Amino acid sequence: MSNLILGTSIVEDEWNLVKLPVLGEETVRKQAGKVVLFKLTGEKTYSEEQIAATVIPATGKILVPLSLWIARRAELESRLTAGELAIWLDTHEVLADLVSAFDDINQLPLIAVHVERFADGRIFSIGNLLRTRHGYKNTLRAFGDVLRDQLFFLKRCGFDSYLIRADRSAEDALASLKDFSQPYQGAVDDKQPVWRRVSRQPASQP
Amino acid sequence: MYKYDEIDQAIVDERVAQYRDQTRRYLAGELTDEEFRPLRLQNGLYIQRHAPMLRIAVPYGMLSARQLHKLADIAARYDRGYGHFSTRQNLQLNWPKLEDVPDILAELATVQMHAIQTSGNCIRNITTDQFAGIASDEIIDPRAVAEIMRQWSTFHPEFALLPRKFKIAVSGTKQDRAIVQAHDIGLEFYRDDQNKMAIKVWVGGGLGRTPILGSVIREHLEWQHVLTYCEAIIRVYNLHGRRDNAYKARIKILVKALGIDEFRKQVEAEWAYLKDSPNTITEAELQRVAQYFTKMPYDTLPAHDASFDSAIASNPAFAAWVKRSVHAHQQPGYRAVTLSLKPHGRAPGDATSEQMHVVADLAENYSFGELRVSHEQNLILADVKLSDLFSIWEQARAAGLATPNIGLLTDIICCPGGDFCSLANAKSIPIAEAIQQQFDNLDYLHDIGDIELNISGCMNACGHHHIGHIGILGVDKDGSEWYQVTIGGKQGNDASIGTVIGPSFAAEEMPGVVQRLIDVYLQERTEEERFIDTVRRIGVAPFKAHVYAKKEAAHV
Ligand code: HEM
Ligand code: SF4
């Protein structure tokens, strides 16, 4: 069964996820004696060899990494025109690189943001900026370490699609989209903060 | 103080349901330890040495009598009959059961309280001056804006999982008592030349392993823009903070690395887009919230009270307490009172359930049913009549809440340390207790005068040791507990970070070391000079010389 939520329903994934192949050993980085769990924003995490070695499926809808589009744009141009190309990026990638790589990001039917670890809240700012600053209107998907407890926040930051981690139930996760009925602050899904949304009268003394 | 309407109530009720389900999933094995961790932390639940530890939010330190009664009941029912008031004006329970936490939260929700964002990498409880609204040097009462910010930061979707914790302090007085310079964001309210409420914004302060005082990012911010401006700051931080290294993940490191000018440039560029967006506060919303923070319905009283004056004259113990514990007030005939949670020989900041009930009753009977928690870990009755002070003193004294040591050497700020905290290098509470025993003579304490002594059990600096006039830091040397001493730290407008005096000491040496520091001060001080002034005037060297000279002599 599919684990992909779009809006408030569970749907089949039409997109074929393309990843850069892993070449050789992945090294474990340490800082101050601890394994580094998060990559720095702007850190380059792939090699030219990986880009070159990536196999692009010849047909169908493909969801490719931003770095692949930037490096091998010529091969992908026609797929974009055909509406068969979507882009994914990691939370440590620089959003400006995505925006400047397209004449209009609304050419993309889907942008997906990969979050390697639950605790990486950069995904929220990325979603927010895509929707507000860059006017992105099509599907915005979160995937990776996506669990139900992020969903309410992701939705408020402009995401409308969530690929729940494979070992968890998307069905259960749907409930979390409704965790709070009347949040305080304005955000992407509802720009008005509560005091502009409803009339709040002073409470009577208990 | 602020009262919940149905919207506020719905949020805490929905939170209880959400957290109850998260706990259920964890206990059912549907969430791993690692996955549950950020969820419980966002709710103030630490797993510590003996048991989980639950931190309950006391927004900007304000409590009602009803809330304190509830906290007392919760401590009695779910814990061991006491709680710990922290330097961040919150209440910490040391022994709750993980399974009980959803029920505790449900009880808290009945009195408009919660534990939302009291830990974890998110915007934490916003703190302020314990005398907000009544301070004689107040320019602006910042509590209405603090409440608006509490609401805005509660489940802020973009800032739910920041690189590290994020602390905001607000202050609206001439003398800063909220330590705005030691916070991730510090907001200093003032009246601008148009006589409008404006904010000086500090950023990038923090103590911990790398103590840094904040820098001014904006001299003048109109109050309406405070939320969007903070959003700009926190967005830059969220995207560029050092997530690769937990020790470098606070905003202070980013600000330092970029330099305040470059950081300001990035923030202002971001703010250009956010300014005037719907999160801009309206006059109507400020009015709505400010209604909860109007002046109390005071009686019109003369500036003096004869019964009070005669009690002072006839009762030296009462007079000594008044001298330290009673503070000026804007309203004639009224005073603010600090109830000491620092009796000699007890863990600083701890209060038993019985004491909480006593304080709640005092608040009910004498102070309009409200009280505050100070970051010095004491409790404050903010609005009491001069004529009531004597009865308050008698009742507080009977409950062990009237040690006349406010602002004195034994009014120690102290973190839970090695007795409770699993990050500790060393115990801190026994050091505080030993120092309190060493200086158990009240006349002597009064002679030493105003001084702040702060203790942390490790470099995380929960006890604010860097800004203590004397700071004590627990360090680990080959597995045994040692203490490093700094002097010359200070909070306030002229804040400073203390200087280490030299090699560290064993626990049993500490009372003697403090004694020697005090000896130098008593010998060197000029009239009217506080300890910190003497340190600033003569420098660290004479203190160092005396402390270590004796030490070496003793070892020969
Ligand atoms: C036992 C449970 C506690 C644990 C595990 C804990 C942990 C920590 C850690 C890791 C930091 C450093 C964060 C950083 O620099 O990024 C910190 C800072 C701090 N803690 Fe605690 N703490 C505990 C209890 C307390 C208590 C009871 C208080 C109040 C008395 C407190 C007040 C503070 C303050 C004020 C800071 C801020 C210092 C700064 O600005 O960096 N903590 N804590
Ligand atoms: S300073 Fe260290 S020992 Fe003390 S409470 Fe904080 S983390 Fe624990």
- Tens of pLDDT, residues B199-221: 999 999 998 888 899 999 999 99
Which tens digit of pLDDT belongs to each residue from B103-130? Answer: 999 999 999 999 999 989 999 989 998 8
The beta-carbon contacts of A48-54 under 8 Å, at least 24 apart in sequence, are: A49/A23, A50/A20, A50/A21, A50/A22, A50/A23, A51/A20, A53/A20, A53/A21, A53/A23, A54/A18, A54/A19, A54/A20, A54/A21
Chain B: closest CA distance from residue A26 (Å) = 17
Ligand 1 atom closest to B463 (CA): 30
Looking at chain A, which residue has its C-alpha nearest residue B158? A124
Q: How confident is the model at residue B526 (pLDDT cuts 50, 70, 90)?
A: very high
Give which of B359, B360, B298, B306 is closest to B329, Cα–Cα.
Answer: B298
Tell me how crowded residue B300 is: count the other CB atoms within 10 A of its CB.
7
Which chain B residues are within 8 Å of A202, Cβ to Cβ? 3, 5, 288, 291-292
B161 pLDDT above the threshold of 70: yes
Q: Which residue is it, tokens 């801190």?
A: B428
Under 8 Å between Cβ of B389 and B337: yes
pLDDT exceeds 70 at position B438: yes
User: What is the fold, at CATH topology level, of the domain defined by B134-290?
Assistant: Sulfite Reductase Hemoprotein; domain 1 (3.30.413)
Mutate which of B47, B92, B414, B421 for ligand 2? The one with the most ligand atoms within 8 Å of its CB, which is B421
Nearest to A107 by CA among A71, A141, A78, A65: A78
Over pLDDT 90: what percentage of chain A?
84
Reported for A199-203, long-range contacts at CB under 8 A and 24+ positions apart, including other chains, are A200/B5, A200/B7, A200/B285, A200/B288, A201/B5, A201/B288, A202/B3, A202/B5, A202/B288, A202/B291, A202/B292, A203/B3, A203/B4, A203/B5
What is the spatial distance between Cα B360 and Cα B111, in angstroms, rounded to a whole number?
Answer: 14
Percentage of chain B with pLDDT > 70? Answer: 98
For residue A170, list chain B residues with Cβ-Cβ distance below 8 A. Answer: none
The residue extents of the domains of chain B are: 6-109, 134-290, 306-398, 413-555
CATH of range B306-398; options 3.40.50.1220, 2.40.30.10, 3.20.20.140, 3.90.480.20: 3.90.480.20
Question: Using CA atoms, how far apart are residues A74 and B16, in angstroms rounded to an integer?
Answer: 53
Average pLDDT over chain A, rounded to whole?
A: 93
- B6-109 architecture in CATH? Alpha-Beta Complex (3.90)
A192 reaches B (C-beta below 8 A): yes
What pLDDT is recorded for position B49?
63
Q: What is the pLDDT of residue B555?
A: 47
Tell me, using a 6 A CB cutoff, whether residue B349 lines ligand 2.
Answer: no
Q: Say what the pLDDT of residue B91 is.
A: 92
DSSP β-bridge partners for residue B485: B472
Q: What is the DSSP string of B426-446?
A: S--HHHHHHHHHHT--HHHHH
CATH code for the structural domain at A4-20+39-197: 3.20.20
Ligand 1 atom nearest B92 alpha carbon: 27
Predicted pLDDT of residue A68: 97
Interchain contact A169–B (C-beta under 8 A): no
Give contacts of A34 with chain B, Cβ < 8 Å.
245-246
Lowest mean pLDDT among B458-462, B473-477, B551-555: B551-555
Distance B461 CA to ligand 1 centre (A): 6
Q: Percent of chain B scored above 90 by pLDDT?
A: 82
Q: State residue B261's pLDDT score.
A: 98
Give the SS3 label for residue B226.
helix
Strand positions, DSSP E, A21-76 = 30-31, 34-35, 62-65
Terminal C-alpha separation, chain B: 61
- In ligand 1, which atom is closest to the CA atom of B183? 40
Per-residue confidence (pLDDT) for residue A206, from 0 to 100? 41
Q: What local confidence, expressed as pLDDT, does residue B209 receive?
A: 85
User: Tokens for B275?
Assistant: 């300014």
Q: Is the pLDDT of residue A203 over 60?
A: no
pLDDT for B175 beyond 50:
yes
CB of residue B456 inside a 6 A radius of ligand 2: yes
For the segment B432-449, the average pLDDT, to the nearest whole number, is 92
Domains B6-109 and B306-398 share a fold: yes
pLDDT at residue number B421: 87
Which residue is closest to B40 within chain A, CA to CA?
A149
pLDDT in tens, B466-514: 999 999 999 998 889 999 999 999 988 888 999 999 999 999 999 999 9
State the pLDDT at residue A45: 86
Identify the three-state secondary structure at position B254: helix
Backbone φ/ψ region at B203: left (φ over 0), alpha (ψ -120 to 50), beta: beta
Of all ligands present, the nearest one to the C-alpha of B349 is 1
Please report the atom of ligand 2 found closest to the CA of residue B456.
1
Q: Report the residue from A31, A125, A206 with minimal CB separation from B244.
A: A31
Lining residues, ligand 1, CB within 6 Å: B 46, 48, 53, 84, 86-88, 92, 164-165, 182, 206-209, 250, 415-416, 420-421, 423, 460-462
Chain B contact for A193 (CB, 8 A cutoff): yes
Q: Which tokens in the block code for residue B251?
A: 């905003």
Give the distance (Å) from ligand 1 centre to CA of residue B416.
10
Q: What is the pLDDT of residue B163?
A: 96
pLDDT tops 70 at residue A196: yes
Q: For B449-459, what is the mean pLDDT? A: 95
Q: Comparing A26-40, B229-243, B499-513, B533-547, which segment has the lowest mean pLDDT?
A: A26-40
**pLDDT at residue B345, as a whole number:** 77
Give CA angle at B342 (B404, B497), nearest 5°.
100
Among 3.30.420.40, 3.90.1280.10, 3.30.930.10, 3.30.413.10, name the CATH number for the domain at B413-555. Answer: 3.30.413.10
Which of B90, B456, B484 gets mutated to test ligand 2 (max ligand atoms within 8 A of its CB)?
B456
**A144 φ, ψ (degrees, to nearest 5):** 115, -130
pLDDT of residue B479: 85
- Looking at this protein, which amino acid is placed at residue A4? L
pLDDT in tens, B79-102: 999 999 987 778 999 888 999 999
Residues of chain B contacting residue A29, judged by C-beta atoms under 8 Å apart: 244
Task: Tell me what ipTM this predicted complex has.
Answer: 0.94
CA A40, A41, A44, A45 torsion: positive or negative? positive
First to last CA, chain A: 51
pLDDT tens profile B373-388: 998 899 999 999 999 9
Q: Is the pLDDT of residue A19 over 80?
A: yes
For A53-85, what is each residue's pLDDT tens digit?
999 999 999 999 999 999 999 999 999 999 999
Q: How far is CA A127 from CA A10, A124, A135, A158, in A?
A: 21, 5, 11, 6
| Residue B553 clears pLDDT 60, i.e. is over it | no
Q: What is the mean pLDDT of residues B142-156?
A: 96
* pLDDT(A140) > 70: yes
**What's the pLDDT tens digit per position in A153-195?**
999 999 999 999 999 999 999 999 999 999 999 999 999 999 9
- Give B531→chain A minimum CA distance, Å: 38
Interface membership of B277 toward A (CB under 8 Å): yes
Distances (CA, A) of A26 to A29, A68, A143, B24, B294: 9, 20, 21, 37, 61
| Mean pLDDT within B348-353 | 93
Within an 8 Å CB–CB cutoff, is residue A199 touching chain B? Answer: no
pLDDT of A34 strictly over 80: no
